Chain A
């Protein structure tokens, strides 16, 4: 995004020196952000380039960058999408509970609790998933593979440690839950009181009021928030790196001990021990992740911003 600072300045009377310096500095800071974002892309491309041009057998795995990245990309997508499927309905329910159902005295405290969940560092979720959640899932996973094994997701054989894709998905869901909840709750909070009262005065029950006033008003926020959550799940690193037992390969099987890694987790696990072309390959995979999250986030923002156009306040 090239800066176009000269246009707004032309129309004005000469500025005082103080004003010129101050507005120049703040404009510069704004432009710097665009430069940094462009820089992220540029430096990643520069550092990834050697791996794209190198002969395929030099890349880890020996079959080129695309073959190296594909299973990681698959693992990233499957973990993030399933996490989103779990988290977004729960998040809407929680946002509804905090906004409309909880006793008002404690609503604020509850909101604060949710925010705290969002503030817990990801490494702690990773440690928790590994120590507490993974062992808990061993038994249900056995049950799933015995009774629902015909579904490819639960084909098994179930992992004995519980360090499965399923656990990674649940941990990711727990992590993105508060992020989605926060945005959706904000949207519900802004539902015009007028519209809530309009439906109540017609004799709506609480749920009917929510369906008539709150949900239509918050719909695009829910979509946008879910996509933000998806972006976060795609890029989550440490929790997955700690929880998941990785063996590569592409599989829909969620409960076995052979799982594809994710791009972010793979970078964290391999980077400290890598050198030379392997580093460039990892950066190339990071570039793919960057592109995907950028696309998801831009779509999310576009959806959320569109809401402003048809908000009911006029």
Chain B
């Protein structure tokens, strides 16, 4: 123990930064910030609607004006520390609101353009023999479902087993390498995954090959790391006590994993898999170069080109017929279908995790 240094006088000449600072400080009235924001936002909307300024200009100008206003006000009333705090709050809030604009705009655009052809014909007809009006994406929807299902069929066992390896068996360099490269694999550009599938099948079947299964392989490359990651996280959440309790009952390790660990983590794993499906179901680039497009029904993934929703939307958009409007409507309807599928998958994932998961949390 050090010798206590009590020799100094109790009221030492220590610099006292706080002497005489009152508890009360100047404060902006309650709700000053949100009200100012509201007023500025209304003014911005006014300029957009009535003075005919562009949306982006109004939004950015509004953000600037609000930030400046609240900073100056606070600086006068509350002092510099509080003003800095207000300034950051304003910047952060504006950044968030500005970032919401694209999302809102995307949803509104897809909805308003997509609803025109969001009808029964769209969901029950293919594009066989269609030049102008009419036609649908039945073949593309089925293609997307088939290829995604195949990709899931490949990815889930591989991903699940890998995660089990990493959590239950993996030690040493191999496990470290796998963890690292799974992380790296999440960053593979989707187009490269497509090229890989093409290169692989081109070596076997010769150049120019297009098949549904190639798309599924490409999507698997994108999907496996997502499945591994989420499953791994869920398995790690399973408390060790459960495993030890099972070992203590003389249950072998593999049965402990299949009968105790996996069921406990099942909801989380299902959530992860659903999110992984949502991630790949909208992929376009890898399917564009491995599966291509066709205008008629082909539900055999081992035989030639298939249509998929995203590629369908792309081709309808870049190669419209004459007049182009019919094609564009179909493209947007396909985009709307796609976005709905993705949102529903996300919702399902949330529901699964909300309804079944909390068991593992203390």
Residues in A lying within 8 Å of B, measured CB to CB: 1, 3-5, 7-8, 16, 18-19, 21-23, 25-34, 36-37, 39-40, 43-44, 46-47, 89-90, 93-94, 96-98, 101-102, 110, 112-113, 115-117, 119-128, 130-132, 136, 139-140, 174, 177, 205-208, 210, 228, 231-232, 234-238, 241-242, 264, 267-268, 271-272, 275-276, 279, 282-283, 286, 289-290, 293-294, 296-298, 300-301
Q: How many residue pairs, one in A and one in B, have C-beta atoms under 8 Å apart?
A: 288
Whether A279 contacts B207 by the Cβ 8 Å rule is: yes
CB distance from A80 to the nearest CB of B (A): 11
Whether A235 contacts B106 by the Cβ 8 Å rule is: no
CB distance from B12 to the nearest CB of A (A): 21
Per DSSP, chain B at the interface is helix
CA of A238 to CA of B195, assembled, Å: 15
Q: B138 at interface (Cβ–Cβ under 8 A)? A: no
Whether B282 contacts A124 by the Cβ 8 Å rule is: yes
Q: B200 at interface (Cβ–Cβ under 8 A)? A: yes
Whether B200 contacts A39 by the Cβ 8 Å rule is: yes
Residues of chain B contacted by A94 (CB below 8 angstroms): 92, 95-96, 99
Checking B190, B255, B279, B350 against A18 with a beta-carbon cut-off of 8 angstroms, the contacting residue is: B255
Checking B110, B181, B285 against A37 with a beta-carbon cut-off of 8 angstroms, the contacting residue is: B181
Whether A272 contacts B174 by the Cβ 8 Å rule is: no
Whether A22 contacts B254 by the Cβ 8 Å rule is: yes
Q: B304 at interface (Cβ–Cβ under 8 A)? A: no
State whether A235 and B188 are in contact (beta carbons under 8 Å apart), knowing that A1-B181, A29-B157, A116-B346 are contacts in the complex.
yes
How large, as a class, is the contact surface on chain B?
Answer: 35 or more
State whether A271 and B289 are in contact (beta carbons under 8 Å apart), knowing that A93-B92, A93-B96, A101-B92 are contacts in the complex.
yes
CA of A76 to CA of B317, assembled, Å: 23
CA of A131 to CA of B113, assembled, Å: 10
Question: Which parts of B294-329 form the interface with A (CB within 8 Å)?
Answer: 310, 313-314, 317-318
Q: B162 at interface (Cβ–Cβ under 8 A)? A: yes
Q: Which of B119-127, B129-137, B241-249, B332-340 is the contact stretch?
A: B332-340
Whether B284 contacts A238 by the Cβ 8 Å rule is: yes
CA of A236 to CA of B177, assembled, Å: 26
Whether A115 contacts B346 by the Cβ 8 Å rule is: yes
Whether B314 contacts A242 by the Cβ 8 Å rule is: yes
Residues of chain B contacted by A96 (CB below 8 angstroms): 92
Whether B171 contacts A43 by the Cβ 8 Å rule is: no
Question: Which parts of B178-226 form the interface with A (CB within 8 Å)?
Answer: 178, 180-193, 195-196, 198-200, 202-203, 207-208, 221, 224-225
